[in-house]
């Protein structure tokens, strides 16, 4: 969205007449007729460009002002509803809209409604060059001071942990409750192997199921083909996918965007750490800037409603990944998996988090396996998951630790045989990772188990039979060999063909006569996981340098809005000037309130023309005023803040919502108020409202 002076002038001119002329009278005084809106907007720009006025506007900026303005600056083009989500938990909704209206009336921000019906917030380009040096990312992501360091050992997910978890699921009959949570027997078994990691186990189970690495039928089954694809990813990418998938079920594109966002967020956490609130804000900003955040591109990604609404079109409404609840859950998973770790407590008593140092993979030629007596196997760290999967496929995990303990049993060996491993593959795998010779009694037992297993074999799938003269052709044909699962005998092959394959076309491609075959289907081809790049830190997070041509750090030579004394002196001088003027009581009260809200920055503005005629608040006895405000809010789609007695008479409650209907009764009126995205509606007697405020922005 192009932020130019012409865009700002057009937006000002497009305001409703009441709002437009209120602004003009406030800053320019009496409006001469005939008037031209574009010319008035140009005069307003000249007012802002006057050095004395610019300095006064900057002097009156507060810390809260700078927080809002910095948020608009670093997420320029964000829509109003998404902006509200960014500040959820930091400000009440009424306080939020009051601040937006105040910044708009002070000519610091403006809004543009686009064809999609959304209202986007931008900084006023007239004053931006002077304002820009005051805008700092640390207004949004303050660096906490560590008071107490965390002395506990931080858990972090490892490749051995994932392999042990997969091994445990493979060799046990785990079933789930209807809500997807683990049943008691599964929790007890996992607790034996991974003590104190119940929550981690549940999150991993959810993630593996959502990623399709596990499937639930009568029990939880392992999808070996998809696991092999997953294991080819780097550990960071694996953990990012697991964090995202543990939070909700995502589309393929949604999974990529969420996982990439997490990698970028973690890469952007400074070494000193951030609080959870700041990390969530950081993720919000990075998501708003999109995949180009690290490259410093100014391209905007559209609405970021309900926090990080990437890939919304590809997702079901109930699975909308980019919302605050989702981001909270993904953050929780990242902490539980050790991807983000607690560093200590801040001076404000908040937890400080930093990015974890992940386990480094050892050189490929290491041999971390030790075979002990009674078929016990110990495994030291260092192997990648891609190496651990075939190794642990024929093992049964007993305990996880720095050195994990496994065992070779008939059941675990049979599971390996089911997947296509034979005795030679098992021996070769052990010899690859074990520095010693395999004990003879272990070899004998595995061979006996295999002989027993292969005494009778039932095959399921496509069987290809070729004539004797075509055997050499079939065995040298790459298109056929690609799908050969096993050679049953000369000229007869078990094929593992995708279920959606066109059989006739397949035979023609292979150069064989076309056949019509009827047989059981096999699994579809497994897709690779979405591509992720390494996490990268955008320039504005570094605390220095430029981002999209903007300064990311406040210049020491620029005027500081923290100069409270200078601001106070200006306000006092304006109040003294007002006190000396001959105006009636109501006019003075109105102008005094405008000085307090920092809308008046020069003595020239103190005139009756600057008195605002629009009323935005009404008290309980003013029934007509309340009715008028509600009716105006309905027509312009504004929120209202209502204060009214609680039903039990214990005090007063404050409600913020969107008025949808106002029905006049004989001696009262009924307001229908929509709360929280239309999820709930209240019918309120207007006469019971003790204070009503229209949140007009």
Tallying the residues shown for the chain, one arrives at 697
87-123 pLDDT, tens per residue?
A: 988 888 889 999 999 999 999 999 998 888 889 999 9
- Average pLDDT for 583-595: 87
List the beta strands (DSSP E) in 232-332.
274-275
Per-residue confidence (pLDDT) for residue 514, from 0 to 100: 54
Has residue 648 got a pLDDT over 50?
yes
- The answer to whether 537 and 282 have CB atoms below 8 angstroms apart is no
- Average pLDDT for 40-67: 95
Per-residue confidence (pLDDT) for residue 2, from 0 to 100: 52
Per residue, the 3-state secondary structure of 353-397, as one string, reads: EEECCCCCCCCCCCCCEEECHHHEEEECCCCCHHHHHHHHCCCEE
Per-residue confidence (pLDDT) for residue 324, from 0 to 100: 59
Q: For residue 694, which of 7, 143, 19 has the smallest C-alpha distance?
A: 19
Per-residue confidence (pLDDT) for residue 677, from 0 to 100: 64
Which secondary structure element, helix H or strand E, spans residue 644, and what is its range?
strand 639-645
Per-residue confidence (pLDDT) for residue 123, from 0 to 100: 96
Q: How far apart are CA 562 and CA 554, in angstroms?
A: 12
Which secondary structure element, helix H or strand E, spans residue 489, and what is its range?
strand 484-489
Per-residue confidence (pLDDT) for residue 45, from 0 to 100: 94
Please give the DSSP secondary-structure letter assigned to residue 152.
S
Per-residue confidence (pLDDT) for residue 459, from 0 to 100: 63
What the block records as the tokens of 556 is: 């020491």
Q: How far apart are CA 621 and CA 600, in angstroms?
A: 31
Has residue 35 got a pLDDT over 90?
no
Q: How far apart are CA 256 and CA 253, in angstroms?
A: 5
Q: For residue 473, which of 503, 444, 512 has the smallest C-alpha distance?
A: 512
- Average pLDDT for 47-61: 95
Q: For residue 131, which of 210, 69, 62 has the smallest C-alpha distance?
A: 69
212 or 454: whose pLDDT is higher?
212
Per-residue confidence (pLDDT) for residue 321, from 0 to 100: 33
Per-residue confidence (pLDDT) for residue 192, from 0 to 100: 94
Per-residue confidence (pLDDT) for residue 542, from 0 to 100: 61
Per-residue confidence (pLDDT) for residue 212, from 0 to 100: 94
140-150 pLDDT, tens per residue?
A: 999 898 888 88
Q: How far apart are CA 335 and CA 363, in angstroms?
A: 28
- The answer to whether 357 and 395 have CB atoms below 8 angstroms apart is no
Confidence of residue 554 (pLDDT cuts 50, 70, 90): very low
Beta-bridge partners for 547: 550
Q: How far apart are CA 565 and CA 8, in angstroms?
A: 32
Confidence of residue 650 (pLDDT cuts 50, 70, 90): confident
354-368 pLDDT, tens per residue?
A: 999 887 777 777 899
Share of the chain above pLDDT 70, in %: 87
Has residue 557 got a pLDDT over 60?
no
What the block records as the tokens of 245 is: 């998938």
- Annotate 201-235 with b (16+ C-beta within 10 A) or e (fewer): bbbbbbbbbbbbbbeeeeebebbbbbbebbbebeb
Measure the CA angle with vertex 249, ends 246 and 253; round to 5°: 110
279 or 462: whose pLDDT is higher?
279
Has residue 296 got a pLDDT over 80?
no
Per-residue confidence (pLDDT) for residue 161, from 0 to 100: 97
487-544 pLDDT, tens per residue?
A: 878 888 888 887 677 777 787 788 776 554 545 444 556 788 888 888 887 766 665 3
Residue bearing tokens 């971390």 = 368
- The answer to whether 150 and 353 have CB atoms below 8 angstroms apart is no
Confidence of residue 42 (pLDDT cuts 50, 70, 90): very high
Residue bearing tokens 């929550």 = 199
Q: How far apart are CA 77 and CA 298, in angstroms?
A: 10
Per-residue confidence (pLDDT) for residue 425, from 0 to 100: 93
Average pLDDT, rounded, for the chain: 84
């Amino acid at each position: 969205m192009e932020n130019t002076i012409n865009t700002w002038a057009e937006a000002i001119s497009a305001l409703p007449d009441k709002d437009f002329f209120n602004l003009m009278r406030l800053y320019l005084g009496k409006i001469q007729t005939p008037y031209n809106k574009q010319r008035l907007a140009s005069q307003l720009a000249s007012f802002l460009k006057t050095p004395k006025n610019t300095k006064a506007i900057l002097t009156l900026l507060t810390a809260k002002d700078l927080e809002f303005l910095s948020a608009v600056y670093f997420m320029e083009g964000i829509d109003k509803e998404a902006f509200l989500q960014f500040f959820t938990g930091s400000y009440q909704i009424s306080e939020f809209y009051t601040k937006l209206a105040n910044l708009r009336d002070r000519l610091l921000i403006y809004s543009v409604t686009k064809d999609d019906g959304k209202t986007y917030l931008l900084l006023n380009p007239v004053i931006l060059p002077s304002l820009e040096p005051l805008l700092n990312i640390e207004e949004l992501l303050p660096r906490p001071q560590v008071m107490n360091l965390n002395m506990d050992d931080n858990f972090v997910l490892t490749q051995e942990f994932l392999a042990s978890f997969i091994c445990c699921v493979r060799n046990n009959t785990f079933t789930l409750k209807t809500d997807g949570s683990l049943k008691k027997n599964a929790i007890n078994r996992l607790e034996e192997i991974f003590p104190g990691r119940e929550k981690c186990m549940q999150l991993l189970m959810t993630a593996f199921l959502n990623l399709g690495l596990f499937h639930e039928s009568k029990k939880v089954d392992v999808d070996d083909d998809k696991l092999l694809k997953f294991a080819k990813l780097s550990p960071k990418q694996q953990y990012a996918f697991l964090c995202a998938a543990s939070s909700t079920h995502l589309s393929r594109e949604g999974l990529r965007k969420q996982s990439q966002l997490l990698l970028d967020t973690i890469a952007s956490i400074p070494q000193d750490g951030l609080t959870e609130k700041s990390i969530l804000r950081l993720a919000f900003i990075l998501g708003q800037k999109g995949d180009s955040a690290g490259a410093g591109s100014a391209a905007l990604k559209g609405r970021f409603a309900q926090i990080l609404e990437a890939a919304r079109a590809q997702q079901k409404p109930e699975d909308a990944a980019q919302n605050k609840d989702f981001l909270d859950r993904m953050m929780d998973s990242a902490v539980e998996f050790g991807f983000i770790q607690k560093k200590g407590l801040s001076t404000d008593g908040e937890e400080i988090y930093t990015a974890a140092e992940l386990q480094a993979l050892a050189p490929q030629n290491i041999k971390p396996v030790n075979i002990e007596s009674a078929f016990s196997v110990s495994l030291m760290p260092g192997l990648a998951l891609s190496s651990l999967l075939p190794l642990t496929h024929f093992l049964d995990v007993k305990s996880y630790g720095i050195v994990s303990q496994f065992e070779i049993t008939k059941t675990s060996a049979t599971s390996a045989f089911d997947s296509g491993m034979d005795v030679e593959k098992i021996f070769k795998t052990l010899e690859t990772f074990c520095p010693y010779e395999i004990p003879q009694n272990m070899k004998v037992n595995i061979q006996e188990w295999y002989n027993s297993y292969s005494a009778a074999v039932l095959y399921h799938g496509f069987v290809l039979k070729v004539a004797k003269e075509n055997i050499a052709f079939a065995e040298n044909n790459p298109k056929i060999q690609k799908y050969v699962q096993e050679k049953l005998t000369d000229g007869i092959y078990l094929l593992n063909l995708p279920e959606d394959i066109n059989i006739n076309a397949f035979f023609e491609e292979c150069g064989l006569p076309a056949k019509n075959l009827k047989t059981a289907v096999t699994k579809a081809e497994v897709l690779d996981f979405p591509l992720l790049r390494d996490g990268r830190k955008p320039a504005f997070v570094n605390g220095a340098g430029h981002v999209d041509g903007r300064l990311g750090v406040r210049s020491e030579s620029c005027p500081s809005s923290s100069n409270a004394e200078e601001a106070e002196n200006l306000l006092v001088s304006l109040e003294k000037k007002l006190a000396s003027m001959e105006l009636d009581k109501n006019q003075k009260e109105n102008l005094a309130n405008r000085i307090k809200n920092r809308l008046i920055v020069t003595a020239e503005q103190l005139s009756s023309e600057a008195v605002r005629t629009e009323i935005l608040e009404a008290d309980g006895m003013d029934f007509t005023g309340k009715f008028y405000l509600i009716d105006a809010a309905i027509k312009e789609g504004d929120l209202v803040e209502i204060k009214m007695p609680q039903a039990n008479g214990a005090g007063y409650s404050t409600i913020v919502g969107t008025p949808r209907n106002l029905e006049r009764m004989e001696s009262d009126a009924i307001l229908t108020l929509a709360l929280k995205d239309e999820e709930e509606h209240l019918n309120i007697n207007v006469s019971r409202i003790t204070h009503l405020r229209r949140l007009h922005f």
